[in-house]
Structure 1
Amino acid sequence: MLSTDGDILKEAEAWCRQGRGVALATVVETWGSAPRPVGSHLVIDHEGNFLGSVSGGCVEGDVLAEAAEAIADGKPRMLEFGVADETAWRAGLSCGGRIKVYVERLD
């Protein structure tokens, strides 16, 4: 069962309190048939552990990689995926929609 967004945010807070490097990815915009709604979260720690989803699994691999970079350099990122993007097809986002995901390190 997928955790609620509230559960994901509570886990992000707990991971930060434990001293882990943590990033939060949030769906901030969708167009068309998007796999997850605006406000959906994915929390990632510095070891690659994660909880939640921003795309139902379609682009999580790319988001996890960007989150690791955000943890390392502290710079937020705005990612966009859709059927017109070759990376989205490779990652499996073929639902016909587009999503925009904001990734930030939590301190």
Structure 2
Amino acid sequence: MLSGDDDILREAERWRREGRGVAIATVVETWGSAPRPTGSHLVIDGEGTFLGSVSGGCVEGAVITEALDVIEDGKPRMLEFGVADETAWRVGLSCGGRIRVYVERVS
């Protein structure tokens, strides 16, 4: 059982040593009601296996898709997710807050 971000980062390191492509997504900024705090991590391998969370499940799918592109092309990305209350459920960040997530390839 993974108990925290340190364990998640160690697992990402292990994946990399095994020769997998790996990206890490980190919450770098939050506004309003955000499901995960700044510094939260999601690690993703080239096959879409992931550990951790950047949003409690709200936008993980979009972050994983971007992470696969980052693994492929090596170009980091800054993602921003946020919604007005009336569109919260449709877009995915139902808490009504906003988050910025930095995604980079692990070398």
Fold agreement, TM-score > 0.5? yes
Partner residue of 1:100?
A: 100
Contact between 1:81 and 1:88, CA under 8 Å: does it hold in 2?
Answer: no
**Structure 2 SS opposite 1:81:** strand
Partner residue of 1:46?
A: 46
What is the percentage of aligned positions where both structures have the same residue?
Answer: 80
Structure 1 unaligned regions, length at least 5: none
Q: Distance in 1 between matches of 2:100 and 2:30?
A: 6
Partner residue of 2:34?
A: 34
The alignment status of 1:12 with 2:12, answered yes or no, reads yes
Structure 2 letter corresponding to 1:56: G
Aligned CA distance change for structure 1 residues 57 and 2 (closer, same or farther; 3 Å): farther
Q: Distance in 1 between matches of 2:62 and 2:40?
A: 16
Q: Distance in 1 between matches of 2:92 and 2:51?
A: 20
Structure 2 letter corresponding to 1:33: S
Give a deviation string over 1:14-37, Cα, whole Å, max 9, x none. Answer: 001000000000000000000100
1:18-97 matched pairs, under 5 angstroms:
18-84=18-84, 89-97=89-97
Q: Distance in 2 between matches of 1:88 and 1:72?
A: 31
* CA-CA distance at 1:89 after TM superposition: 4.4
Contact between 2:5 and 2:40, CA under 8 Å: does it hold in 1?
Answer: yes
Structure 2 letter corresponding to 1:65: T
Structure 2 unaligned regions, length at least 5: none
Give the total of aligned pairs: 105
Contact between 1:43 and 1:50, CA under 8 Å: does it hold in 2?
Answer: yes
Contact between 1:80 and 1:99, CA under 8 Å: does it hold in 2?
Answer: yes
Contact between 1:3 and 1:52, CA under 8 Å: does it hold in 2?
Answer: no
